[in-house]
Structure formats: structure tokens, C-alpha cells
Amino acid sequence: MLNLLSLAVMALEINTETVMTSLGFMWKGMLGIMTVIIIITVIVMIMARIDSKKAAKNEGGGK
């Protein structure tokens, strides 16, 4: 029983240096993902604006 308890305690030990290193990688990855999402959003907004200007130009110039 003692071996099982000591094994459980060893499994729950946290190496804070490893956790901090992992958090460093994690925030850089999250920043990269958010940057890509923002870039895609801006591109879609620009494309929608160009498309709406073309549609308005075609409606007015047809007569």
C-alpha cells in the first residue's frame, strides 16, 4: 500500500521550471493563432468591401 501511495505522490509532483517553459511556448502559439485569425478577418472584410463597391457600380451603370 505504501508503494502505491508513494507512486501517486510522485505522479502528482509538478516541476515548476517545466511548467513555466511550457507556458512560454503556449502563449507564443496562442499569439500566432490570434494573429492569423485577425489577418484572415481583415482580408475578408477588404474583399467584402470591394465586392459591394463593384455591385453598386454595376447596378447604377446598367441604365
What is the distance between the alpha carbons of residues 50 and 56, in angstroms, rounded to a whole number? 10
Distances (CA, A) of 48 to 7, 35, 56, 61, 62: 59, 20, 12, 20, 21
Torsion of CA 15, 20, 26, 32, to 10 degrees: -160
pLDDT of residue 45: 96
Is the confidence at residue 15, as pLDDT, over 80?
yes
- Asked if residue 3 has pLDDT above 90, the reply is no
Residue 56 confidence class, pLDDT cut points 50, 70, 90: confident
Residue 62, SS3? coil
Instruction: Map out the domains of the chain as residue ranges.
Output: 34-63
| Per-residue model confidence (pLDDT) at position 42 | 98
pLDDT interval class at 2 (50, 70, 90): low
pLDDT at 51 over 80: yes
